[in-house]
Amino acid sequence: MLVPGAAGGVDKVVTWSAWEEGKSDVRKGVFYVDNAACAYTSMVDPDIMPRVLPNLEKITVHRADASFQDMTFEERFFLVGASVSRYHRTIDGSSTLSWKLISGRQAKHDGNWSVSPDGRVSFQNAIQAKSMLHRALLRGIQVRAMEGVASSIQEHCKL
């Protein structure tokens, strides 16, 4: 079931699923863009990403080819401050991206991103805090960050 506007405290552009709980928290979201190709490029091109994504300050590319990226993201988040995370990312060159956290402050942050030709962007994040005490905080940060990503990409990809 999708829950519109479940982010709380930020402008809502994502239609969110309910949390799927287990060892990791899984959350799915959907939003729409005018230009599907632009939305995909905004999430996979390391030259474009820092100009579009609101929390991203720097990317270090360790390896990148047509289907694989090994990158470190330096980001800044509300209530957290600076965060450095390294991801292995698989891309198809046109519509899908998946990622797996290799190192960072979270125990887990894996997910996927898919853009359909009609501009529907769907994503899934599986997150897990290193401490149960930080679970609620991490959930809130994830929702706030993805709302920011979605609204920034919508603005950047207007026709």
pLDDT of residue 21: 62
> How far is it, in rounded angstroms, from Cα 13 to Cα 54?
15
DSSP state string for 3-71: EETTT-SS---PEEEPPB-SSSEEEEEEEE-S-HHHHHHHHH-TTTHHHH-TTEEEEEEEEE-SSEEEE
pLDDT of residue 35: 97
pLDDT digit string (tens) for the chain, length 159 residues: 333 333 344 468 898 887 666 555 778 899 999 999 999 999 999 999 999 998 899 999 999 999 999 999 998 876 667 889 999 999 999 999 999 999 998 888 899 999 999 999 999 988 888 777 777 777 777 788 889 899 999 999 997
Contact between 71 and 62 (Cβ < 8 Å): yes
Which residues span the domain enclosing 58?
Answer: 2-156
pLDDT of residue 87: 96
pLDDT of residue 6: 38
b/e sequence 1-37, b meaning 16+ C-beta within 10 Å: eeeeebbeebebbbbbbeeeeeebbbbbbbbbbebbe
DSSP, collapsed to helix, strand or coil, labels residue 158 as coil
> How far is it, in rounded angstroms, from Cα 155 to Cα 8?
21
Amino acid at 93: G
Judge if pTM exceeds 0.75: yes
For residue 111, give the H/E element and its range. Answer: strand 108-115
Residue given tokens 């060892």 in the structure block: 23
C-alpha 91: how far from chain center: 14
What CATH number is given to the structural domain containing 14?
A: 3.30.530.20
Number of structural domains, the chain?
1
